[in-house]
């Protein structure tokens, strides 16, 4: 794996981490307000699940060095 590709993987990993943490936090807040009387634990659980999903994605990305990330270009 080249250094540039490694850097791109780290960038993708950190971006995904931020997105998943935000989504988990948001969904945790929604569930906490709607079902669990504004307790803290659904928010913590949602954030933790988001971080766990991001970690799993990063692990898969780093352990699969032969997969190329390409973009599909539609014919015009």
> Which residues are at the interface with other proteins (CB under 8 A)?
7, 11-13, 15-20, 22-23, 26-27, 30-31, 34-35, 53-54, 57-58, 60-61, 69
Our CB check for other proteins shows the closer of 71 and 75 to be 71
Q: Which residues contact 43 (CB under 8 A, 6 or more apart)?
A: 25, 28, 29, 32
Our CB check for other proteins shows the closer of 40 and 62 to be 62
- Alpha-carbon dihedral angle through residues 2, 6, 9, 10, given to the nearest 10 degrees: -170
Closest distance of CB 30 from other proteins, Å: 5
């Amino acid at each position: 794996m080249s250094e540039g590709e490694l850097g791109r993987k780290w960038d993708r990993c950190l971006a995904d981490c931020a997105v998943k943490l935000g989504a988990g936090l948001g969904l945790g807040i929604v569930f906490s307000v709607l079902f669990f009387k504004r307790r803290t634990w659904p928010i913590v659980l949602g954030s933790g699940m988001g971080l766990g999903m991001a970690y799993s994605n990063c692990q898969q990305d780093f352990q699969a060095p032969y997969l190329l990330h390409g973009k599909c270009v539609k014919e015009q």
